[in-house]
Structure 1
Amino acid sequence: MTNALLSINKATVRFLNTTLFTGLSFSIKKGESWALIGESGSGKSALLQTIAGRFNITGGEIDYHFWNEYSKFFKAGDIATPHKLIALVEPKHHFRNLSNTTDFYYQQRYNSSDSEDALTVIDYLNTIPHFPGTDTSWTFERVVSLLRLEPLLNKQIIKLSNGETKRLMLAAALLKNPVLLMLDSPLTGLDIKTREEFNGIIEQIMASGINIIIATSIHEIPTAITHVAVLSKGAIIHESLKQDFKAELFEQDKSDTIDTNELNALLNIDKNPATYKHIVKMDKVHIKYGDKVVLDDVNWQINPGEHWALLGPNGAGKSTLLSLINGDNPQAYANNIILFDKKRGTGESIWDIKKKIGFVSPELHQYFPTDNSCLQVIESGYYDTLGLFRPSNKDRAEVALRWMKALEIEKYARVLLKNIPASAQRLCLLARALIKNPALLIFDEPCQGMDDHQQLHFKNLVDTICSLGNVTLIYVTHYQREIPNSVDKVLRLDKGKVVF
């Protein structure tokens, strides 16, 4: 197998007390690039983590055939393993603060003194080591140019948008010049322009001699990919050349049902009878960090019962705009903003605002503590805390379980959030946002990482919720197909300005 890069032969793979794979076999040769597809929880991410050396192999074997070629380049005393020559870009980042002592926390990007405890993009990229013996074609200048990072070089990494962070993580992986690059759902969070450029990016990476394995949607397999593997329930059920792959044979069933009576009952538990003239009213909102204008004289009025899409490319200012509504950004006090008929700065607390809002975003998912059970995470939505820090309330826990059933994730009720698939984690946070029946729902890229059925079910759920009550909705996405049918108003941002 002189042309083999790596091979897995009849492996049993375990994580903690869970068996992830039994009899797993998979191989990749030099010059090949693979797409892994399958429903949520099928094992795509687990396969990447297995190759990266994150899980225990208790039976069978995995051989890194490329290791003999490169191991001689490591110095005596180095911690030298084949995994050093593999780069894995995961859905979540693992950035650390300047002192390298603690992780970043949710809301840090909006607090000026705390956000300074973060590397800039250029400083972060300069910390990335190059793997010994590998090609050096991916230079700092090349990755910065390819991934359009020039305008971001002096920006703190904590202040990057979700899509900008994705581009930075890929740049860091390329700077290592790895033998094998693995990408886990790399297109989630990227705007239309960057997604359109992605095929060309993959082609350039492959042309440089780097092998690629990408876990992706069946609808977003890059053209440069040579092979496809389909996973289901922890097993590889199909392998083929991409040119022979018939996607229609593996598309998910598009049927879906919503229990309208149960949903209506859930929406009338602890229903807030308050009425408002305006949910949101912004007048010439201007947000600036240093010399960078993030929002430029934004006007926006949202009335009760309206359903809005907030659209725009990565870095347009969408997350900052939402942070002013959700009470996370202290610059709200310096602007003319009315929330739920009260002007910011007239005595209301952040908690007064948050109890009226159900919110989920990529940033909330990134920083949400994962040591609670999923049921506890959802119950914490009653208290707007990042986790449950009080004894569980029996009645509220029962409501949380009912919401889990509505979102088809009840099997994870007693499982820790960190031990379930990323898509199910996001659905837990969506249930957390819904549980208190808030007047305003803010869903910022809610369908990231979900498979086709999960996306369809959630979209239908949102439309049903909007039809049953007077809830107000703000929905952010980079995919037109994800926008619920109930959305009939649009605010589009570009470079901090409202674009009509």
Structure 2
Amino acid sequence: MTKTIFSINNATVRFLNNTLFKDLTFTINKGENWALVGPSGSGKSALLQTIAGRFNITGGSIAYHTESAQRGESLVTNGISIKTKMVAIVEPRHHFRNLSNTSDFYYQQRYNSSDSEDALTVNNYLNNIINETAGGYWTLDKVIPLLNLGYLYDKEIIKLSNGETKRLMLAAALLKNPVLLLLDNPLTGLDVKTRQAFNSIISQITASGINLIIATPAHEIPEGITHIAVLQNGAIAHETTSTNFKLEEFITDAADSVDIAALNILLNPDKPRISYNHIVKMEKVHIQYADKVVLDDVNWEIKTGERWALLGPNGAGKSTLLSLINGDNPQAYANHIVLFDKKRGTGESIWDIKKKIGFVSPELHQYFPTDNSCLQVVESGYYDTLGLFRPSNKQMAGIALQWMKTLEIEQYARMLLKNVPASAQRLCLLARALVKNPSLLIFDEPCQGMDDHQQLHFKNIVDTICKLSNVTMIYVTHYQHEIPNSVDKVLTLDKGKVVY
């Protein structure tokens, strides 16, 4: 007899004033592991949040059914305690708290040793999870080797790389020993080695009796998935088994075009970028926190108009290296670093540096305030502030809106950043990086959370910008196919050292 674990029937799902689903029906049976696929904004993350009990159900019914032999409990339908015990979710954004039990982390905190001391270590964080749960199959002895967290045990969570953070969040979810484990794009931010090991990780998770529901691109469905739901425009358009799923039917049309004339106007050819002898020049850069060496004897020279890929596994030191260029890391003053032909420490301010750089990263996305409208977020790029804290300038707002149109997100202009899909949030931050036509673009994993069309369109825009201007670029990714064609130079880091 088939045992139902979760069911929602003919439900209307709402968040704030928005209707996310109408007549939503979805059932998960014991032993089923589901992949949710579909274009960005189709409702994959919203469905995970619905299963997690985060949204209001104003019609139909929702129920959680299981018996937990491990806990000796009978769990029946409808109740917040049931959801808490049954469901764990790993989201794109973390919700870590400081030792002082606040969540007021800020972007540069990881680089300031005195401030980062208020952050929990990996050890603290995971042990707190253990203390809050009643035990089960997944223990520290199992999750630490599974997710390769041993070498991070004494590291502050605020200093983890994007990929390391994703592994820690998955470990925390497993320690709760849920019946349903919800993963929202879990492979984003993970390096090649970890992605290759993901099938084995999933197999061990499902073998322990946990049912998995994962939102993922159609071409990254892991082994162990038994069923697939295709979402379109806030509805489940199709359900099938993994054996009957035909990938070619759900791949987005690869056709794309860029309005070159409009983009050329935005690049403002009447005001060309300044040409520098050295955009970046580093000599024997060494960064260390306590006894942990993060960068060791790094030499790097970037000249105007060069386009670089910065590559390396999670924890290689890429984000720290970028923080030295972007003015966020105070250890730049203790090293020989030249930015835009000026040595750090010779009188230039952080804001003098930032006004020449357009920057986006997973960490910036994590800590960016979300209470501005998307248009205000883009306009804030003129001032390098995390949000717009002054009256909007009509001309600047007009240019910001044109950049949003170029990136195909103008429909979100008046919506709050927190109320738009994660892919649209990322595109807003990319428009923010582009809006002032900086001399240097730093794109750190810019395509996270985007669907195939969005990735292709952004890649084509970047290549067109490089063709029309002398902009300098540093591009970081763990996916080879995301690297723009205009990139022709590579720096590879591993364990803080330049290896290529």
TM-score where L is the length of structure 2: 0.97
In structure 2, relative to structure 1, the CA distance for the partners of 1:167 and 1:273 (3 Å cut) is closer
Deviation, 1:80, is 2.3
Distance 1:79 1:184, change over 3 A: closer
The structural deviation recorded for 1:73 is 7.0
Q: What is the rounded CA distance, in whole Å, between the counterparts of 1:102 and 1:452 in structure 2?
A: 33
Q: Which AA in structure 2 matches 1:109?
A: R
Distance of 1:290 and 1:318 partners within structure 2: 19
Structure 1 residue 103: Cα displacement: 2.2
Paired with 1:271 and 1:127, the residues of 2 have a C-alpha distance of 55
Q: Partners of 2:259 and 2:412 in 1: how far apart? A: 20
Does the 8 Å contact 1:271/1:437 carry over to 2? Answer: no
1:280-325 Cα offsets, whole Å, 9 max, x none, are 0000000001111100000000000000000000000000000000
Matches within 5 A, 1:120-159: 120-129=121-130, 136-159=136-159
Letter in 1 for 2:379: E
The structural deviation recorded for 1:208 is 0.3
Q: How does 1:17-416 map onto structure 2 within 5 Å?
A: 17-66=17-66, 72=73, 80-129=81-130, 136-268=136-268, 271=271, 273-416=273-416
The question of whether the paired residues in 2 share the 8 Å contact of 1:182 and 1:212 is answered with yes
Structure-1 separation of matches of 2:395 and 2:261: 19
Q: How much has 1:114 moved relative to structure 2? A: 0.2
Q: Output the CA distance in 2 between the equivalents of 1:415 and 1:114.
A: 33
Distance in 1 between residues matched to 2:272 and 2:337, nearest whole Å? 23
Which residue is equivalent to 1:496? 496
Point out 4+ residue stretches in structure 1 off by more than 2 angstroms. Answer: 67-74, 78-84, 129-133, 269-275
Deviation sequence 1:214-266 (CA, Å, 0-9, x none) = 00011100011111110000000111110110011111010001000000000
Structure 1 contact 95–103 (Cα < 8 Å) conserved: no
- Whether contact under 8 Å (1:270, 1:437) holds in the other structure is no
Alpha-carbon distance in 2 for matches of 1:314, 1:153: 15
Q: Is the 8 A contact 2:98 2:120 kept in 1?
A: yes
User: Given residue 323 of structure 1, which amino acid in structure 2 is its aligned partner?
Assistant: S
Q: Does the alignment pair 1:483 with 2:491?
A: no
Inter-partner Cα distance in structure 2 for 1:159 and 1:214: 27
Q: Is the 8 A contact 1:11 1:21 kept in 2?
A: yes
In structure 2, stretches of 5+ residues that fail to align are none
* Alignment partners' CA distance in 1, 2:415 and 2:94: 23
- Distance in 2 between residues matched to 1:131 and 1:205, nearest whole Å: 21
Rounded to whole Å, the distance in 2 between the matches of 1:72 and 1:225 is 28
CA distance in 1, matches of 2:89, 2:272: 46
The separation in 2 between residues aligned to 1:363 and 1:244, in whole angstroms, is 38
Secondary structure in 2 matching 1:261: helix
Partner of 1:441: 441
Cα shift readout 1:345-401 (whole Å, capped 9, x = no counterpart) = 000000000000000000000000000000000000000000000000000000010
- Measured in 1, the distance between the counterparts of 2:159 and 2:195 equals 21
Q: Is the 8 A contact 1:374 1:428 kept in 2?
A: yes
**Once the 2 structures are TM-superposed, how far is the Cα of residue 269 of structure 1 from its aligned partner?**
7.0
Deviation of 1:273 (Å)? 4.2
1:8: Cα distance to partner?
Answer: 1.0
Using a 3 Å threshold, how does the CA distance of structure 1 residues 100 and 269 change in structure 2: closer, same or farther? Answer: farther
C-alpha distance in 2, partners of 1:12/1:198?
Answer: 34
Whole-angstrom distance in 2 between the partners of 1:437 and 1:98: 40
Code of the aligned partner of 2:408 = E
Query: For 1:371, what is the secondary structure of its paired residue?
Result: coil
Query: How far, CA to CA, are the matches of 2:309 and 2:440 in structure 1?
Result: 13
* CA deviation profile, 1:413-463 (whole Å, cap 9, x unmatched): 000000000010000000000000000000000000000000000000000
Which deviates more, 123-132 or 465-474?
A: 123-132
Task: Please tell me whether the aligned partners of residues 273 and 439 of structure 2 are also in contact (alpha carbons under 8 angstroms).
Answer: no
Q: 1:270 deviation in Å? A: 8.0
**Is the 1:370–1:418 contact (alpha carbons within 8 Å) kept by the matching residues of 2?**
yes
C-alpha distance in 2, partners of 1:132/1:497?
40
The amino acid of 2:98's aligned partner reads N
1-side partners of 2:72 and 2:386: how far apart? 44
Amino acid at match of 1:167: R
Paired letter, 1:312: G
Q: Distance in 1 between matches of 2:334 and 2:68?
A: 61
Aligned position for 2:450: 450
SS of the residue 1:442 aligns to: strand
Q: Which runs of 5+ in 1 are unaligned?
A: none
Q: For residue 337 of structure 1, what is the amino acid of its counterpart? A: I
The alignment of Structure 1 onto Structure 2 pairs a total of residues equal to 496
CA distance in structure 2 between the partners assigned to 1:55 and 1:137 by the alignment: 30
Counterpart CA distance in 1 for 2:180 and 2:402 is: 43
The alignment yields a C-alpha RMSD, in angstroms, of 1.6
1:373 maps to amino acid: S
Q: For residue 219 of structure 2, give the secondary structure of its aligned residue in structure 1.
A: coil
CA distance in 1, matches of 2:409, 2:323: 28
| 1:131-185 CA-partner distances (Å, limit 9, x unpaired) | 867x711110110010000100000000000000000000000011111100000
Report the secondary structure of 1:25's partner residue. Answer: strand
What's the CA shift for 1:275? 2.2
CA distance in 2, matches of 1:346, 1:272: 26
Aligned AA for 2:472?
T
Q: CA deviation at 1:272?
A: 5.2
Query: Are the aligned partners of 1:130 and 1:175 in contact in 2 as well (CA < 8 Å)?
Result: no
Q: Which residue identity lines up with residue 243 of structure 1 in the other structure?
A: T
Equivalent pair of 1:32/1:211 in contact (CA under 8 Å) = yes
Find the aligned partners of 1:130 and 1:195 in 2 and give their Cα distance: 30
**Cα distance, 1:71 vs structure 2:** 8.8
Helix, strand or coil at the partner of 1:275:
coil
- C-alpha separation between the residues in 1 aligned to 2:103 and 2:61? 36
Contact 2:90 2:184 survives alignment (8 Å): yes
Contact 1:84-1:131 within 8 A present in 2 as well: no
1:82 Cα deviation from its structure 2 partner: 2.5
Q: 2:12 aligns to what SS in structure 1?
A: strand
Q: Distance in 2 between matches of 1:353 and 1:132?
A: 47
* 1:68 positional shift: 8.3
Q: Is the 8 A contact 1:71 1:80 kept in 2?
A: no
